[in-house]
Structure 1
């Protein structure tokens, strides 16, 4: 017998049946065909899924175990390549010719011989090997205040949070609580009874759980890619740390070199000015012609003309040091550097080639990028296979707030869904091919990074050897030019040589002074370049936020 005119969801007067409304059978656990809701029929509380007792709910959940458990066991499968870091180049040396046991020596503190210690480790604070306290203090200030370091640390924290989000969002179930209150108008035309209409309120509270089974490892590959991004940002932090320290050392050495060149040029200009004064007196006495005076004036002007560019370079280096230390260019606290403040390290640790690929931040960053690309191949492959999602919900539903938490208002659902892509216009296959191409690109970039790293080390080693020989030759040239100038000045006073011969000797000496200062600075700068090329020893840093985990 059909009953109309009663609000849906209200118990029948016999207390054993309940009216079924379109609202009720819209719940995913209610089958409109089994409920005969299409015909507006009646259903007892015993066969209404909306009114199942908790014991039968547990039995329904347990009945799904034979299907769910095998699916969970399959979650160990992971499609896509398992990443392995490429092997280093098969070589045990950086250069074709073997390195000498030590470099050449020259007079002075900048000319001490340096010994190459193969296989020895590099200290984290490698710049302390120069034994320059102002340099050490400036670098420590820079590491604490540099915006580049702060930016790299923030990027590392961001990648870690993204990893946590990726893990929680793909590998853990989603649990949500929901509370709804709606008012709507019910129309019986849905059941073929257009004359039946009713305005009603509907209240619903529920907790839902959903979980996507990672049958093919796509989610785990996504987490693997996110973890590789964390590694990449960690090594980028080390790269910023190494670049900052190396740039400060190089800039400090350059400042010291420029100061030496400026001081030498000013001294030469002072001597030339004194000589010009002497020539003017000789001209007034008729001993020489005016041409000699004009020539000396030209030489003095040319010498002084070289000073503004040197001072401009010095100002730029000073500004660079201030900015690198995290201060504005106007900061007067940046220390001044001179060559005699540095001590040349006499022992140079040189890592073996097989260890270099585990030390250089740029190589490790490229390796992390390659690892991420490998994981993305697995993600793209897993997207082509069936995706299974499990879901369940438990809550209450009623027409009044007072009835919301009664036992007869309980509703629940348990479900599973399978999604198998059939036709996407070639999208998934193209995405997989693109991921493979991206992996090949990252692999080529990794190999190029390794080759450039080996080149950097080889160039630095050879530069140190040639710098030592060049400094010795330049020191000899400067000494010869100095002796020749002293002799030429004495001969000129006695009338033994012409002024033109003296002028040539002066120009030679002036050039050797500048070249000597540059040769001395080159040994310090190339020593710092070697430490940078070898990775800088960051793996020995005891500070966890600064040192990467091997």
Structure 2
């Protein structure tokens, strides 16, 4: 090949490669609305004060990298760290990502660089010949050693598009790993809060059962003395039994929650961890509310959907490039002969050089159908991205509304519990002075215990919904993560 012709071929290849940029969509995610506020109504700047805390919504703040530490519980921190370290599900996702990254490196190396292979052949053979024309058989040795190389020019960008699609899918897996990590963290925190709240509810319910049994026992004695009706005695027994029937369900909920927590952190259920007391968990006073533009970059599910759009766009380009010609070069060189002296002599030189150009002509419409399918898949990826963003906005809106309503619920429950506590104290004092029967004291204590149960449920729900908001906010990627995702 002479130099001018070689230069022309290279120039043509460069022009065609640049032209290939228009074979597929750009892969940029569609523009999404940027609402002024997430919910149907604008969230307040802070919630009402409940249990001594008014949570402030820090609009424009980014998610905290280790938000669970805001609960200021060393025991909770230790459980989350153990889960991130030992969870087999998270470890499996990490290994799957590592395998995908290695497969991508193999694909890029095999498709963008020439392949070079070597072979060595040593053969001892015997061949029969035609009778009367020489010896009845011929025995000979054959020695050969060759190096082969092959390279396919990416004239229309098919290889580049395919590698881009594979790289984008690796990014999808990386973002899914981050989503799994954040989901694991949120599940551990929610499980700890749930178990702590159930512990408190079980303790209160156990005391409520004791009080109701005492009332039933007193009414049974009073009925024997004729001071109360049989209907009242039976009603007291029914109330005591109904309250006692709630205890097994609470204990079962706690058992299942503890078992689930053990599995989340990589333990067997029989080795379930201890859980901190509900009072040892501090409710975060400040919660971030990222602006929508930051939310698009901070949530791994949205980032994964973005990467899926890029992968689908590259698939369109690859499917289009398959319609155009493909040019490949092959070459080989080596030494061969029927004896070692021949192999190393001038007569033993072996070489070959070839070029091939192929153009799809008729494939039964398969190539065009594949291109149409890739376009439909791209449209589906764009719609999935839109759906993911809208779902993320919904998550944030629901979490913000939940925190505001949780605070109001807890504030009302706390007022009810305080009033019931004051009423119980008054009843106990009057009973000690002999001006009130014990049944009235028990009834007052029961009202107080029920009010406390409502406050505990409200406090646990508020803590859980706070964790859900941190989860919904995501976390803005660091500069290193951003650089790695663009490689």
| Aligned counterpart, 1:520 | 459
| Aligned counterpart, 1:394 | 333
Q: Which one of the candidate residues 283, 287, 297 is aligned to 2:237?
A: 297
Matched, 1:147 2:88: yes
Deviation at 1:318, TM superposition (A): 0.7
Contact 1:146-1:325 at 8 Å conserved across structures? yes
Matched, 1:93 2:31: no
More helix by share: 2
Contact 2:176-2:301 at 8 Å conserved across structures? yes
Unmatched runs of 5 consecutive residues or more in structure 1:
1-59
| Aligned counterpart, 1:253 | 193
Contact 1:211-1:390 at 8 Å conserved across structures? yes
Contact 2:169-2:308 at 8 Å conserved across structures? yes
Deviates more, 1:366-375 or 1:291-300: 291-300
Between the two proteins, the alignment pairs up a number of residues equal to 477
| Aligned counterpart, 2:385 | 446
Matched, 1:477 2:416: yes
Deviation at 1:503, TM superposition (A): 9.4
Q: Give me the whole-angstrom Cα distance separating, in 1, the residues matched to 2:359 and 2:242.
A: 82
Q: Give me the whole-angstrom Cα distance separating, in 2, the residues matched to 1:437 and 1:256.
A: 49
Q: Which one of the candidate residues 175, 198, 216 is aligned to 2:116?
A: 175
Matched, 1:351 2:293: no
With structure 1 as the length reference, what TM-score do the two structures score? 0.79
Q: CA RMSD in A?
A: 3.2
Deviation at 1:398, TM superposition (A): 1.2
Give deviations 1:135-180, integer Å, cap 9, x for gaps.
Answer: 0011111111111221121111111111111111111101111122
**Cα distance change on mapping 1:451 and 1:186 into 2, 3 Å:** farther
| Larger RCO (CA within 8 A; separation ≥ 6) | 2
Looking at CA atoms only, which structure, 1 or 2, has the larger radius of gyration?
A: 1
Contact 2:29-2:385 at 8 Å conserved across structures? no
**Cα distance change on mapping 1:541 and 1:253 into 2, 3 Å:** farther
Matched, 1:539 2:477: yes
Unmatched runs of 5 consecutive residues or more in structure 2:
none
* 1:177-256 matches, cutoff 5 A: 177-182=118-123, 183=125, 185=127, 201-256=141-196
With structure 2 as the length reference, what TM-score do the two structures score? 0.89
Q: Give me the whole-angstrom Cα distance separating, in 2, the residues matched to 1:434 and 1:517.
A: 55
Deviates more, 1:114-123 or 1:460-469: 114-123
| Aligned counterpart, 1:102 | 46
| Aligned counterpart, 1:76 | 17
Q: Give me the whole-angstrom Cα distance separating, in 2, the residues matched to 1:538 and 1:159.
A: 24
Q: Give me the whole-angstrom Cα distance separating, in 2, the residues matched to 1:146 and 1:117.
A: 32
Give deviations 1:423-464, integer Å, cap 9, x for gaps.
Answer: 000111111111111111111111111100000000000110
Q: Which one of the candidate residues 425, 439, 444 is aligned to 2:364?
A: 425
Deviation at 1:400, TM superposition (A): 2.5
Deviates more, 1:322-331 or 1:89-98: 89-98
